[in-house]
A and B are shown apart, each in its own frame.
Chain A
């Protein structure tokens, strides 16, 4: 029996999910600026509902980004504290990849482009192929101006589904990208339920890290205008 707990605070949503050998339960709330208040009670609720104690967890996972810097760190800190405290491995999961899985599961999409608004007129974005709950990245995750985003040439002629807040900026994407996307769901946010599913596959493949190694992935590394 494998039991995993995942947290996410990378967007305006806050979510927690539990994996028990393929059974996923969880909580998802729209909680802008409320993550510090909501995260812990949501963990308690999700565990209590499934009658699982922290000690029964085999590993923890969290949405490691990209997304809101502070939000990712709230999830990272909480997950690191829990994993270190429980002496369990920690699995950092891509929030973009989790969005792709969610879109695949809910809408049957096989090709997904998740994108988040990265502010400063940029997107966090990637493209994935999904089959039977397996999600493969078709490129590296990027932080990029919408008009500069291009798909790998192998994707020519393919039809994608767009998902995530980044699609509010769809009008800034190139015509080629817009033509390649049949439908977009800009209202969707990452969900720990998808994170925990990806984490389960990674855990089965031996993918857990020591908690201190499971650090956020921000994608944007230029955070000051002054030259180094």
Chain B
């Protein structure tokens, strides 16, 4: 089955073609980051307007890339949530219009299920069951994955998401949006021993996270240095390093704990923050000796993309699941509400 995947939940337009026999056939991605950067964050209305301009040309582009014609497409998947409602609506309505014209099934899928299963697009995909750490701009969650649609939430952030903490820290350090990669880059120059930031919620049992205290700690440190007149470039880099170390440590400790608790031997790390190289190194180092294998999507599929939506859609469409005539846009949609494919 060949499935067209459409992602428009936030500030990335993603379109891809996935074939259940031959894997990923084509993918196209347009990021709006530059457009929103001037405003210091995503402007929802501008995001929606841009999706409308980009979507059809990108669909045309992936069909060309894969050298396929419209008649070769067997199903359409789009992101139905969670995300910005207006942006979701663009993908949902276009997908439904196309599916009606082509007389093929259409299905709205869960954006985070897309992230969760993005490593399935790699050459050595993980087998079920596994533990997944979802770390993005809007989510920090540990999930036990027993199979498609069988997700048990083990823990999540009680306040800011890890990516959000990266972005806010970047702002405090005067770095441009989105801050994750910028903080990581600045941290490379930082001295890891100068500051030690707290590892929130690691000293008590449980798998929940909290990052807002760490953000406050970063701000306090910055203000102290500013007051003392010693906030130079090196100090900024040292702070970035201390923040990144604390975040990565926290994530690593909780992953280890989740794996111990479930007894599972595979860890999937997905979402925008999983692009962080030092997080990958640290997890690898901490888990390899316990015989645990970690799986990541390729860099391009860590952040929002159409390929992961095409993949998840294909798994569910093949099982007979599809939308009725309602276009779905669900801004809030907890991942634990997902169920295995329903035909």
Q: A residues bordering B, Cβ < 8 Å?
A: 36-37, 39-41, 43-44, 54, 69-70, 73-87, 211-212, 215-216, 218, 223-224, 226, 228
Counting chain B CB atoms within 10 Å of each CB, which of A44, A82, A83, A218 scores highest?
A82
Q: B residues bordering A, Cβ < 8 Å?
A: 38-40, 43, 45-46, 48-49, 52-53, 55-57, 59-60, 70, 85-86, 89-102, 325-329
Cα distance A212–B57 in the bound complex, in angstroms: 7
The answer on a CB contact under 8 Å between A212 and B56 is yes
Contacts of A78 in B (CB 8 A): 93-94, 96-97, 327
The answer on a CB contact under 8 Å between B93 and A36 is yes
User: A218 → chain B, closest Cβ, in Å?
Assistant: 7
Counting chain B CB atoms within 10 Å of each CB, which of A74, A80, A81, A228 scores highest?
A81
The answer on a CB contact under 8 Å between A82 and B52 is no
The total number of A-B Cβ pairs within 8 Å is 112
The answer on a CB contact under 8 Å between B101 and A54 is yes
Contacts of A223 in B (CB 8 A): 43, 45-46
The answer on a CB contact under 8 Å between B85 and A54 is no
User: B87 → chain A, closest Cβ, in Å?
Assistant: 9
Known A69-B48, A224-B39; contact A81-B325, beta-carbon cutoff 8 A: no
- Nearest A residue (CB) for B57: A212
The answer on a CB contact under 8 Å between A69 and B93 is no
Counting chain B CB atoms within 10 Å of each CB, which of A39, A44, A212, A223 scores highest?
A212
User: B34 → chain A, closest Cβ, in Å?
Assistant: 13
- Nearest A residue (CB) for B104: A85
- Nearest B residue (CB) for A54: B101
Q: Which of B43, B52, B60 lies in contact with A215, CB distance below 8 A?
A: B52
The answer on a CB contact under 8 Å between B326 and A85 is no
The answer on a CB contact under 8 Å between A215 and B89 is no
User: A179 → chain B, closest Cβ, in Å?
Assistant: 36
Contacts of A212 in B (CB 8 A): 53, 56-57, 60
User: B84 → chain A, closest Cβ, in Å?
Assistant: 11
User: B6 → chain A, closest Cβ, in Å?
Assistant: 10
Contacts of B99 in A (CB 8 A): 81, 85
User: B321 → chain A, closest Cβ, in Å?
Assistant: 18
Known A73-B52, A74-B93; contact A84-B328, beta-carbon cutoff 8 A: no
Contacts of A69 in B (CB 8 A): 45, 48, 86
The answer on a CB contact under 8 Å between A81 and B45 is no
The answer on a CB contact under 8 Å between A81 and B97 is yes
Contacts of A80 in B (CB 8 A): 52, 55-56, 94, 97
The answer on a CB contact under 8 Å between A84 and B100 is no
Known A73-B89, A223-B43, A224-B45; contact A41-B325, beta-carbon cutoff 8 A: yes
Counting chain A CB atoms within 10 Å of each CB, which of B52, B60, B97 scores highest?
B97
Using A70-B86, A80-B94, A224-B45 as known contacts, list a sample of 18 further A-B pairs with CB atoms less than 8 Å apart, ordered by residue number in A: A39-B93, A40-B325, A54-B100, A74-B93, A74-B327, A78-B94, A78-B96, A80-B97, A82-B97, A82-B100, A83-B97, A84-B98, A85-B102, A212-B53, A215-B52, A223-B43, A224-B39, A224-B46
User: B24 → chain A, closest Cβ, in Å?
Assistant: 22
The answer on a CB contact under 8 Å between A81 and B327 is no
The answer on a CB contact under 8 Å between A40 and B90 is no
The answer on a CB contact under 8 Å between A40 and B96 is yes
The answer on a CB contact under 8 Å between B43 and A224 is yes
The answer on a CB contact under 8 Å between B327 and A215 is no
For the complex of A and B, list the 3 residue pairs with the smallest distance between their C-beta atoms, beginning with the closest: A81-B97, A85-B101, A77-B93
Known A36-B327, A36-B329, A85-B70; contact A73-B97, beta-carbon cutoff 8 A: no
